[in-house]
Amino acid sequence: MSDLTGFITDELWLHGADLVGVGSLAELPADVRAGLPIGIAIAVKFPKEVIRGIPDLPTRAYYDHYLHLDEKLDMLASLGAECLRSFGHRAIPLTRAYVAAHATPEGSLLPHKTVATRARLGWIGKSALLVTTPFGSMVRLTSILTDAPLRTAKPISESRCGDCQICRDACPAKAIVGNPWAACTAREELVDVAACQETAQERSNRAFGIPTSICGKCIEICPYTSRYLDKH
Ligand code: B12
Ligand code: SF4
Ligand code: SF4
């Protein structure tokens, strides 16, 4: 295969990925990346009408799509990994099952957002979410680890939020601190996850009777998301 990077990217797009990027993970500790040097970041976007529907409270449609997109992401990561293995390379799809089996007290061993910034899909906003130029933060993510000799992108290592504080001011939990992100910024400097989780559970329970930790206000309110929502 003369251009495996193009081939695998096309395969993922063909099967429904909205953004695909390849990044070098070599600078990260070997144990978090299973000794594999390359990460493929995959994003799928929410339908516009789902995000337009959550300015006040999360909706059942947002919850249902959240689950549906996670299934789609597991399928894409598994398919991409299988494809790389068929060329004789090692590849691990970071499906929800894999992430859960390798969970740490912090969350996941290798957050999808880390792979995504290394693969140039976007930067981490003051919201602590990945913000992409085409779709703002209305994307869900997965990743593949591999040793395939793929072309890697230049990582994004700085925030592009500028002076904006819209997500901080809109968060119903007051969980967003308002600090700009850089690659060494600890999560606690960006968001109070306990406050987010507690408020999100209360809001989803109030909105559709399920105390799950979804809210999404910081997705919907971001001007980069609005720019995509306003596009015809
Ligand atoms: C546990 C978890 C939660 C917990 C904790 C929140 C959190 N921020 O970790 C709770 C339940 C509170 C939560 C809430 C939400 N979550 Co959540 N969550 C996760 C999960 C399963 C693990 C996150 C994790 O490992 N955290 C560990 C910490 C250390 O990492 P992190 O904060 O995620 O990311 C940091 C690193 O990536 C670092 N980083 C980035 N680039 C680089 C580069 C280098 C070199 C280094 C060293 C570090 C680095 O910067 C990030 C910010 O500090 C991920 C899925 C996954 N497997 O990644 C989804 C995930 C982060 N969640 C997601 C979403 C959408 C949400 C909610 C909007 C859901 C909602 N309520 O509606 C909120 C948003 C809260 C917020 N503002 O951050 C999406 C984010 C999509 C996006 N566009 O960014 C993810 C990726 C799920 C997915 N499959 O798409 N979540
Ligand atoms: S998901 Fe809701 S509660 Fe959590 S940080 Fe975003 S806006 Fe705040
Ligand atoms: S709302 Fe503003 S500060 Fe928050 S992530 Fe989006 S651009 Fe950055």
Tell me the whole-structure pTM to 2 decimals. 0.97
Looking at the 3D structure of the chain, how many domains does it have? 1
CA dist., res. 131 & res. 15, Å (int): 23
Q: Which residues of 201-212 are buried (b: 16+ CB within 10 A; e: fewer)?
A: bebbeebbeeee
Distance 114 CA to ligand 1 centre (A): 9
Identify whether the C-beta of residue 196 lies closer than 8 Å to the C-beta of residue 128. no
Per-residue pLDDT of the chain (232 residues; tens, 9 = 90+): 459 999 999 999 999 999 999 999 999 999 999 999 999 999 999 999 999 999 889 999 999 999 999 999 999 999 999 999 999 999 999 999 999 999 988 889 999 999 999 999 999 999 999 999 999 999 999 999 999 999 999 999 999 999 999 999 999 999 999 999 998 899 999 999 999 999 999 999 999 999 999 999 999 999 999 999 998 7
Identify whether the C-beta of residue 113 lies closer than 8 Å to the C-beta of residue 141. yes
φ, ψ dihedrals at 15, nearest 5° = -95, 10
Identify whether the C-beta of residue 229 lies closer than 8 Å to the C-beta of residue 64. no
Atom 5 of ligand 3, residue of closest alpha carbon: 125
* Contact 130 CB / ligand 3 (< 6 Å): no
CA dist., res. 5 & res. 46, Å (int): 26
CA dist., res. 94 & res. 142, Å (int): 6
Range of the domain at 199: 4-230
Other beta carbons within 10 Å of 50: 20
DSSP tag of 31: G
Distance 124 CA to ligand 3 centre (A): 9
